[in-house]
Amino acid sequence: MVTNFRPHPKPPPAPWRYRGSRLESPPRCTLTWSRIRRPAVPELHEAGSTRHQSQGMFFSVCYDSVSLHESERSMTARILDGLKIRDEIFAELKDEVRLLAAAGVRPGLAAVLVGENPASQLYVKSKIAACEQLGLSSGLLTPPESATTRELLAVVDDLNHDNNVDGILVQLPLPPQVDTKRILEAVDPSKDVDGFHPVNLGRLASGRPGLVACTPAGCMEILRRGNVPMEGANAVVLGRSDIVGKPLALLLMHANATVTICHSKTRDLPEVVRRGDIVVAAMGKPAFVEADWIKPGAAVIDVGTNTIKDPTEAERLLRNFPARLEKFRAKGSVLVGDVHPAAVNTAGALTPVPGGVGPMTITMLMSNTVKAARLRRASPAVSTSQSTASAR
Ligand code: NAP
């Protein structure tokens, strides 16, 4: 019995070691290569050929001897590599920063980091490092944990009036005494590089150009640059937060996908997910989306970043991924997405966690800062030579 028999235009890449499959009868079409999954073909260990019948057709399958691990043998998804896409976009942004510099403009990002939250400090540090890498100027303001809403409004106001600042980043979460919405709404929308301001959300909803939230914008870059067809595709977005699910659903709709938005009250979630040609998971629930919810061949964008520290949980999720399990044992924690790691066996393309959506968030922050500088300060001549990412 052969499952997942799909015509393939060329030999599939490693770790497959099949030499080929040949249709014997009836000769309705020519199928030269296919992917056949363990444990459906248990004799895979040995070189040779076997004869199979599927859907009334007979065909023979030739394969080489393999000594790959079970998980590697059954891996089918094309990896949508966020690190590679980040490098591509950074190269484009560097060109654009050079052009802006020639026109006397150096894009600048100001980060407001309130208090001493270690995770926030780490995020801001990475963002400033990215600015340095691209030749952007950056500034860090560090009001104390005790800062009031009024004090922070004054900080934001100063930055709004500083012409060298193109992007204002208020690192969240803010301390409980601060009215976060008021602070975010005080940011000049033309400097709102996080894309959280209601004006920018409104522009996105109405299909007007503006600054788009970084994580959803990064997911779209992955889909575009990963050549995932969006027009007419059924896209299922799991999560409806203002910073990920909602803007992403709008972006997918503008890309002509047919979008379904799911949330905690959605009924029969597995069935809804099974209809998705594109599935985006942004729930914050480790490995919640099971592999068999994913339609075979679907593209999966896993936004979730969940740290697992419980050894039993890690063993359960990663039992077929010995290398990752080894890393967990060495480090005591592992990052998993909202989609079960075994979805790599059903999806056609998938973002890994880590290394998928994660690197794209800072990348799009840089892209938004360059875009904000171009829109606010550059002459039309510079505006025509923009990078593809920051042009959007
Ligand atoms: P959030 O604000 O907590 O929103 C979670 C969403 O998931 C909500 O809309 C919620 O529905 C929905 N949800 C929760 N349980 C569900 C269930 N059982 N079935 C269906 N939907 C369910 O989270 P977020 O800020 O959007 O972030 C989501 C995940 O993405 C988190 O893991 C976060 O760490 C990660 N993230 C990663 C990046 C990155 O750079 N990689 C950036 C941002 C976020 P309700 O609305 O009904 O409550």
| Beta strand extents in 7-64 (DSSP E only) | 18-25, 48-54, 57-63
Question: What are the Cα distances from residue 357, in Å, to 125, 181, 222, 353?
Answer: 19, 26, 8, 8
pLDDT at 386 over 70: no
Ordered structural domains, the chain, with CATH: 18-73 (no CATH), 107-211 (3.40.50.10860), 212-355 (3.40.50.720)
Average pLDDT (333-343) is: 97
Residue 310 appears among annotated catalytic residues: no
CA of 137 to the centre of ligand 1 (A): 32
Q: For 153-202, write each residue's pLDDT tens digit.
A: 999 999 999 999 999 999 999 999 999 999 999 999 999 999 999 999 99
Our CA dihedral for 372, 140, 242, 217, rounded to 10 degrees, sits at 40
pLDDT at 205 over 80: yes
Average pLDDT (203-217) is: 97
Average pLDDT (123-146) is: 98
Average pLDDT (82-92) is: 98
pLDDT at 337 over 60: yes
Q: For 266-280, write each residue's pLDDT tens digit.
A: 999 999 999 999 999
Q: Ligand 1 atom closest to Cα of 360?
A: 40
Please give the structure tokens belonging to residue 128: 């400033």
Q: What is the CA radius of gyration of the chain?
A: 24
Residue 171 appears among annotated catalytic residues: yes
pTM over 0.85, yes/no: no
Question: What are the Cα distances from residue 259, in Å, to 167, 196, 205, 275?
Answer: 31, 21, 14, 11
Share of the chain above pLDDT 90, in %: 77
pLDDT at 224 over 50: yes
- Confidence class of residue 290 from pLDDT cuts 50, 70 and 90? very high
User: Which is the catalytic residue, given 166, 191, 192, 194?
Assistant: 194
Nearest CA among 252, 209, 225 for reference residue 89:
225
- Confidence class of residue 47 from pLDDT cuts 50, 70 and 90? very low
How far apart are the C-alpha atoms of 146 and 176, rounded to whole Å? 10
Q: Ligand 1 atom closest to Cα of 358?
A: 41
Residue 24 phi/psi, 5-degree rounding, is: -100, -50
- Confidence class of residue 76 from pLDDT cuts 50, 70 and 90? confident
pLDDT at 380 over 60: yes
Q: For 107-122, write each residue's pLDDT tens digit.
A: 999 999 999 999 999 9
The answer to whether the beta carbons of residues 269 and 263 sit under 8 Å apart is: no
Decide which of 355 and 20 is more confident.
Answer: 355
pLDDT for the residue 15? 37
